[in-house]
Structure formats: C-alpha cells, structure tokens
Amino acid sequence: MKIELIPAIDIIGGQCVRLTKGDYDQKTVYGKPIDMAKEFERIGFNRLHVVDLDGAKNRHIVNDSVLREITSNTKLTVDFGGGIKSHDDVDAAFQAGAQMVTIGSIAVTHPHLFTWWLQKYGPDRVILGADVRNGKISINGWKEDSTEDLLPFLKKYVDAGVKNVLCTEISKDGTLSGPAIDLYREVLNAYPDLHLIASGGVSSIDDIKALDKAGIPAVVFGKAIYEGRIDLEDLWRAGQKNN
C-alpha cells in the first residue's frame, strides 16, 4: 500500500478515549496515551494524530502536558489538534513538541488568522481540518454546524497555499461503518494535488486498502485499533507491501 498510515489518540482528562460521532456522552476509555504512542512506535509507525477533545470543548488547549509526554518519550511525528484558537494555543502546541497543528474552527470563524498562521509556519506545519456533517463544515468540537460548504471552503484555502487537509465525515466517525470514500474522491477530483487525510469510519484493514485503491494519500484511524478490529502488526506489514 502507498497510503500513509496515521494512528490516532483522542484525549479527555489525560486519558485515551474514543467518541461515537463526536458525542461526548458516547465515550469509551482505553488507557494512557503515552502507552499507546509507545506501542505505535514499537511496531514501526512514525506518524501520530493527537486530538485534545477537552481543548475542542473548552476552546483552548488543555492537554498540552500529555502531548509533551508523548513527544518527549517517542520519536513519532505528531500532529496536534483540538482547541487551537489563539496565538498562545499554537505556541503551546509547538512548544510541547508537535511538528504540525490541525486547525479547523478558526479557519471558519477567523479566516484571516488561519491564513496568517499558514503564512507564518508554512503549509507543511499547518493542516486544515475540514470536519463535515451533512455537507457543511462543523466547528467547535463538532458542537456547531457552519454555513460553509466543503468544496468552496477548501478552494479558499487551497488558493491560499494549504497543502494538507484532514477531512472527517462526522456521521462515520467512531461508528466502524466504513469510510466515506465517495466524499474523498470528490475532494481529490476537485483538488488533485492535496495531501488529503481521510478520517472516520475505518473498521478494518480492508477499509484502508479500499482507500489506498481509491488513491487517497493518507488515513487516520483510531477506534478500530482500540476495539480490536485492526491488528497493528498486520496493518504495518500490509503497509510495507508495494512501498
């Protein structure tokens, strides 16, 4: 497979959790984030997607100490999102060791600020988060739906220099019901040069292979790991084939 494999760790209260469709009332706890991060590194993964769900809910970074613990004790390349609303939040994420930040809500509510960060830190360090529900971009920890349609929203930032987009189909997230491949194809048909990171619904290695076959550059996956649907050793071996 050529697709980039990015395991995910979502954090609430310093613990590794997964939600269903972004619902904080549908939460399952899976232990310590540092333990999972070390396991990903041991197997051979070099990327990690970390989401501060407390931060997303409270609109400022909360779990930067957990991020620092991961970056201080592994060599994983970490992208961090959740609650990044200010210059202080961006600085806190980078100071805690994140190599990249994923920013979504601010790109909707304060586009000039997002564009400023994109210019300051560069398109390799700023990932545009595009979380979609019913075709609209969702913000603030998926608590609110904006009026922004996905493709015009992306065009605005592709024109501004965005290269990396993390696209989550919220109705799929945490459901293990399969990824929204048609949605990702639509995005890549419109913007073929994007490094599109698919997120939501991955339930098996076959789902990841289907994304790879569809030409999706990268995938984030989480719940399928924690629920035992994906064996990480098997996935890593599959990922090495044809690379």
Query: How many Cα atoms sit within 13 Å of 169 on the Cβ side?
Result: 23
Q: Is residue 148 within 8 Å of residue 187, measured between CB atoms?
A: no
Is 131 labeled as catalytic in the residue annotation? yes
Identified catalytic residue from 54, 64, 89, 131: 131
Place of tokens 């540092």: 34
Is 35 labeled as catalytic in the residue annotation? no
Rounded distance, CA 140 to CA 146, Å?
10
Report strand pairing: 136-139 vs 126-133. antiparallel
Could you give the angle at the alpha carbon of 203 between the alpha carbons of 201 and 209, nearest 5°? Answer: 100
Q: Which residues are the active-site residues?
A: 10, 131
